Structure 1
Amino acid sequence: MHETPRPGGARVRTRAERLDGLPFTTQHRRLLVGSGVGWALDAMDVGLVSFVMAALAQQWGLGSGELSLLASIGFVGMAVGASLGGLLADRLGRRQVFALTLLVYGLATGASSLAGSVAVLIVLRFVVGLGLGAELPVASTLVAEYAPRRIRGRVVVWLESFWAVGWILAALVGYFVVPASPDGWRWALVIGLVPAVWAVVVRWSLPESVRFLERTGRTEEAEAAVRLFEQARPVAWRGTARSRGRDRGTVDSGAPEPGASALPGADRPSAEAGIWGPALRGRTAALWTVWFCINFAYYGAFTWLPTLLVQQGFTLTRSFGYVLVITLAQLPGYAAAAWLIEVWGRRLTLASFLGGSAASALLFGIASMGTVVQPWQVIASGMALSFFNLGAWGALYAIGPELYPTAVRGTGTGAAAAFGRIASILAPLSVPPLLVLGGEQYDLIVVFAAFGAAFLVAAAAAFALPEQRGKALG
């Protein structure tokens, strides 16, 4: 993305600057929704496992060890998939890999519905994880590379908010389908075939990254993609106060905002030595720490949530109903993060929501302990945990792609996600021993205090990340 001088010495804006200066258009909306639906389907698949676990614990008589393995094996696949997905996205393109991942985990989820044993189900869940893990960092990278600079963080958070839609869908399927019959969990997994169909939509309707096209010498395609967005109709967007006037159909000049570089990547460190080179290792270490801790706490809590509520004496249907209500709080959490990320900035928003997650996790453990559990306390503290935790996820996905230059952006975000998946593997396995450690009276408070501690470590690491609000992507 080099500058092209005009006759007389005037500088022609690069394609990246042209994209950064656009208002939010119908093409941005199309990209956001198209990627977001894939994101929601990913979340639905992950969420369905928690309800399937609770059903199989009763139907197949599975113990905590088998349930932990069933939950963790999918995250093993996600760790491998996240790493491979990022590498492939930097070599084959964002769109191609995005579509492939949807196809892989959609077909594997559908096949899981036919499993006749725990062993077969475990193998298929690993394959599902490969696709799921690769899809998330690739989708966020693609959207971040097209979003206008002044609202890029907000757009990525709205992409991440589709995760809540997927979890709500999973909770609805869990509540209405899974308990309906002995084969209810199988029908729930059949619904997981939908991503395979959506893969076709992604492959043929979404654009490839302009930055990737330029880096691989496909300049004509890059120019066509930019012009497609430039010719699209602007959509009213409720941006930050400093950008509202420009968001209503006026093309930005591309001039940097306060604190932003004048040229794309002018203040960005070199990618020549990779994500662990001297220029990038500090932000990589901090990002990996946040990813590890948030994965440990989130997946440890929400993967086991329906099963833990059943173990507290609630019926399967009532437990699933509580989880559905708790899940609904994810949407306002994303909305709050989407607004604050352009007001407070990425780092403070991420750290604040992680701190709120820590407090909420501790309150949930306290509310769930004892011989008499008050449902309203469980629901209220669970909703607070959903609100803060998913808001933190939104901020994390917004800041990740902004930390790296184009040449290693997919690799950097994918590697961080892959490292985080190690924690998501360990989290479900950690719950049974933590329950034993807490004893019959303090089992859940010990579990959720551990998750709260992980959130606090992540909040501290967030302050080590550079603030990227208003800066151009390199």
Structure 2
Amino acid sequence: MDATPVAPPTRAADARLDRIPVVTRSHRIWVALLGIFFTFDLVDLNTFAYVAPALRSEWGLSITAVGAVTSVSFLGMFLGGLLGGRLADRFGRRPTILGSAVFYSTFSLLSAVSVNVEMLAVTRVLTGFGLQAMTGVLLVYVTEMFPREQRGRYQSLTLALGLLGVPIAAAVSRLLVPIGPGTWRWVFVIGAGGIVGVILSVRLLPESIRWQVAQGRAEEAEPVLAKLESEARGILGRDLPEPGPAVETAESGNIRELLRPPYLQRLTVASAVMICLILGFYGFSSWIPTLLVEDGYTQTESLNYSLVLAIGAVPGALLAWPLVDRFERKTLILGISLVVTVLLLAFGISSGAVLVMVIGFLINMLMQMLVAVLYTYLPEVFPTRLRGLGAGCANSVGRLSGAAGAFIVGGVYSGLGYTAVFLYLALVILLLGTLLALFGERTTRRRLEDVGSAPEPA
């Protein structure tokens, strides 16, 4: 038993949290739990893309109908991100995560019993609502509860665990869809597995300490904070340094504050970058199975290639691990964007199974690396009282663009052809990196309170 005195709860809890320099046993448990949520989030998010070719055949859907279902899913995500972020700032990170996971799991099950495309569209809207309400808050949770020198690494690790859901969705689809009519329904059943994370998290996932401080409820954070301090002292073999001064005040944020300087510019930049990310990322991953079939590959070949491409997701997020806390995030994002731009252009003019799979694998891998770094960056630029709302708004605007993006890809393909789709995607990713490099904040290894509450130092 550690006999070192614990700082009294009158000391600023957020400052005490900042002095913990190591990842403890509790942190590792939280990573596993958040990884489960991310896994089934990404399983569910990718299910429609993998079953779309089968639905086109079984229900006689057009490319336009596939685009419509994809678009309404993004509309649900837009609304979910807005409401989820606001609920997280108002009622807490933990209840928002658990409630959203129950919500999207329920509607994923209902997707499995859809009798027509109209019912499926409704269930996908509501599934998307729950998915995005949860995803934005998961990012906020990692940002607030992990040591500042390592929060980027553990954001990438959490995402990497979650990205297991991408090859899981691809593999399940590859196994089930070709069996026969109606077997695509079981893919949606797998997507409802988020309920597993809820069951485990009821006892194991605490509320965010920073959120409790911002709400003037630091005494409620004391048991978890004291446990983290004790675990950290056990790892270090010495006492922790004295806490620094508190920065956050116990107050609630609101949308009006978010629309005033300095947060308006941050929200604008973050929203523009998320628009580019969604247009580029989902324009590639969601349409690849369908575009390959349209380009002459069989449905089985398309699913095989999609599975290979999907496997690149997990190592992609892990590629961010050694870099995300070492280099300035916005600079790293620019570098990744430039490489992805070149690869997308190459993919659009490539032919032959091996070349398509190799270049596609690299694109998917680096896209996920880009997502890991950007997901680390996004919640850092807002203060705790506005973090859920700010990150949620930026995420939501991005998701809303996905509704238009589904039609853009379909329109570009119909009007200009297969290669033009990848030229369009390359330009979008190039714009993403350029915008953030020019107008983004520096966040790497800075205190959250310093980044969120004050202008960037000269």
Do both share a fold (TM > 0.5)? Answer: yes
> What stretches of structure 2 of length at least 5 have no aligned partner?
1-8, 450-458
Query: What is residue 281 of structure 1 aligned with on the other side?
Result: 264
Aligned equivalent of 1:253: 241
Aligned position for 1:47 = 46
Contact 1:108 1:125 in 2 (8 A): yes
2:420 maps to: 446
Q: Secondary structure at the match of 2:149?
A: helix
Moved more, 156-165 or 98-107: 156-165
Residue identity matched to 2:420: V
Cα distance in 2 for partners of 1:448, 1:358 equals: 9
Q: State the 1:399 CA deviation.
A: 0.8
Change (3 A) 1:251 1:362: farther
Aligned to 2:430: 456
Partner of 1:224: 223
Cα displacement (A) at 1:232:
3.2
- Report the identity percentage: 29
Listed one character per residue, the Cα deviations across residues 416-466 of structure 1 (whole Å, up to 9, x for unaligned) are 00010111111111122101221xxxx121111111111011111111211
Q: Does residue 104 of structure 2 align to residue 105 of structure 1?
A: yes
Which stretch has the larger CA shift, 318-327 or 407-416?
318-327
In the alignment, what sits opposite 1:144? 143
Contact preservation (8 Å) 2:295, 2:418? no
Q: Does 1:313 align with 2:296?
A: yes
Task: Tell me how far 1:354 sits from its aligned partner.
Answer: 1.8
1: CA distance, partners of 2:154 / 2:35: 11
Q: Structure 1 252/375 Cα, relative in aligned 2: closer, same or farther at 3 Å?
A: farther
Measured in 1, the distance between the counterparts of 2:428 and 2:271 equals 13
Alignment partner, residue 335 of structure 1: 318
Distance 1:421 1:132, change over 3 A: same
Inter-partner Cα distance in structure 1 for 2:246 and 2:376: 18
Query: 2:434 aligned with 1:436, yes or no?
Result: no
1:164 deviates by 1.9
How far apart in 1 are the matches of 2:163 and 2:347?
A: 20
Partner of 2:281: 298
User: What is the distance in 1 between the residues matched to 2:312 and 2:237?
Assistant: 33
Is 1:162 the counterpart of 2:161? The answer is yes
SS in 2 for 1:116: coil
2:370 to 392, 408, 424: 392
Q: State the TM-score, normalized to the length of structure 2.
A: 0.90
User: Superposition pairs for residues 230-269 of structure 1, below 5 Å?
Assistant: 230-232=229-231, 253=241, 263=245, 265=247
How far apart are 1:100 and its partner, in Å? 0.7
Q: Which moved more, 1:211-220 or 1:321-330?
A: 211-220
The offset of 1:203, in angstroms, is 3.1
Larger deviation: 300-309 or 91-100? Answer: 300-309
1:351 to 309, 334, 338: 334
Aligned-pair RMSD on alpha carbons?
A: 2.3
- In structure 2, how many angstroms separate the alpha carbons of the residues matched to 1:157 and 1:254? 29
Deviates more, 1:182-191 or 1:78-87: 182-191
Query: What code does the residue aligned with 2:86 have?
Result: L
AA of the residue aligned to 1:102 = A
Match of 1:419 among 383, 392, 397: 397
Higher mean displacement: 390-399 or 13-22? 13-22
Alpha-carbon separation, structure 2, partners of 1:274 and 1:447: 39
Change (3 A) 1:305 1:248: farther
CA separation in 2, counterparts of 1:81 and 1:218? 27
Amino acid across the alignment from 1:341:
V
Matched, 1:94 2:93: yes
Residues 249, 113 of structure 1: alpha-carbon distance in 2 compared, 3 angstrom cutoff: farther
More displaced 10-residue stretch of structure 1: 336-345 or 410-419: 336-345
The more displaced of 209-218 and 392-401 is 209-218
Q: Distance in 2 between matches of 1:69 and 1:357?
A: 27
The equivalent residue for 1:18 is 16
Q: CA deviation at 1:231?
A: 2.8
Contact persistence 1:20–1:254 (CA under 8 A)? no
Q: 1:380 to 1:232 in 2, by over 3 A?
A: same
**Taking structure 1 as reference, are residues 437 and 163 closer, same or farther at Cα in structure 2, changes over 3 Å only?**
farther
Q: So what's the TM-score if we normalise by structure 1?
A: 0.88
Residue 298 of structure 1 aligns to which amino acid in structure 2? F
Q: Is the contact made by 1:106 and 1:194 (CA closer than 8 Å) also made in structure 2?
A: yes
Query: Which runs of 4 or more aligned residues in structure 1 lie more than 3 Å from their structure 2 counterparts after TM superposition?
Result: 232-235, 247-252, 262-266, 270-273
Match of 1:408 in 2: 386
After TM superposition, the structure 1 stretch with the greater mean CA deviation from structure 2, 214-223 or 389-398, is: 214-223
* 1:233 CA drift (Å): 6.7
Deviations 1:217-250 (A, max 9, x none): 3333211120122233789xxxxxxxxxxx8666
Q: Relative to 1, partners in 2 of residues 1:252 and 1:54: Cα closer, same or farther, differing over 3 Å?
A: farther
Residue deviations 1:195-231 (CA, integer Å, cap 9, x gap) = 1342232233201011212232333321112012223
Cα distance in 1 between the residues matched to 2:428 and 2:247 = 33
Contact 2:79 2:396 in 1 (8 A): yes
Q: What is the match of residue 465 of structure 1?
A: 440
Amino acid at match of 2:163: A
**Do residues 126 (structure 1) and 114 (structure 2) align?**
no
Question: Counterparts of 2:114 and 2:19 in 1: how far apart (Å)?
Answer: 51
Superimposed CA distance per residue, residues 91-119 of structure 1 (whole angstroms, 9 cap, x where no aligned partner): 01001000011101101001111111011
Counterparts of 1:147 and 1:396, CA distance in 2: 17
Evaluate the alpha carbon distance shift between residue 364 and residue 224 of structure 1 in structure 2; reply closer, same or farther with a 3 A threshold: same
In structure 2, the partner of 1:244 is: none
Larger deviation: 54-63 or 16-25? Answer: 16-25
Preserved contact between residue 334 and residue 394 of structure 1 (Cα < 8 Å): yes
For 2:10 and 2:414, locate their aligned partners in 1 and report how far apart those are by CA, in whole Å. Answer: 66
